[in-house]
Amino acid sequence: MYVEWRRLQRTGLRRLQESYVPLFERTRTFRIYCSNVVPGLLQTPAYATALLGEITDFRQTPNDVMEAVAARMDRARVLREGDHRFAILVEEAVLRYCIGDAGVMAGQLGHLLSIMSLPAVSLGVVPFSASRHMWPLETFSIYDSAQAQVELLTAAVNVTAPSEIEQYARAFERLSEAAVYGATARTLIAKAIEALG
């Protein structure tokens, strides 16, 4: 189903953040790929404030950024509670795009380093130098094998057809093969922090 963001966000961003809670609580395996921003579940309050503030301004929605950030942070408890597994991939560009100021980015990148130690989280970075068999895609998330959500500029697309979910799963697998993990991913994050000056 294709739903425009302006419809989903017409009353602000908080309600949309809260609407994901049931899906997140029932999902056991999350596969998340982001090519443009740090995934919402991994965002710090400062990064989320900067990003959601820009979204509010761009889409001209009611400004409830502080409430939306609080809802997003509350939603992230699934990282530490319950029986969930998270396979998360980001393009190296995500580490370099400056959302907020340098202090916000340094805090966010440091947070990624700490998140990597959580037993339920696998964080991979697809380096600029990777030999790829899958081009960079739009941000998408796969919830178990029941649903995929794709984020476009103007809309969220919820995919439930098994053949389409399978294509996203295949793309995620190929992107995973190009990613680096562990110490190598930590090095890329540390270099991005150093580059902030």
Express each pLDDT in 50-62 by its tens digit: 999 999 999 999 9
Res 11: pLDDT: 86
The answer as to CATH 3.40.50 being correct for domain 2-195 is no
Express each pLDDT in 103-156 by its tens digit: 999 999 999 999 999 999 999 999 999 999 999 999 999 999 999 999 999 999
- Which residues neighbour 19 within 8 Å (Cβ) at sequence distance 6 or greater? none
Spatial separation of the C-alpha atoms in residues 182 and 195, rounded to whole Å: 20
- pTM for this entry: 0.95
- Which residues neighbour 77 within 8 Å (Cβ) at sequence distance 6 or greater? none
Spatial separation of the C-alpha atoms in residues 79 and 32, rounded to whole Å: 13
In the chain, what are the domain boundaries? 2-195
Residue 3, pLDDT above cutoff 90: no
Res 80: pLDDT: 93
Spell out where the chain has E strands. 2-4, 29-34, 85-91, 121-126, 140-143, 147-151, 155-159
Res 194: pLDDT: 97
Res 113: pLDDT: 98
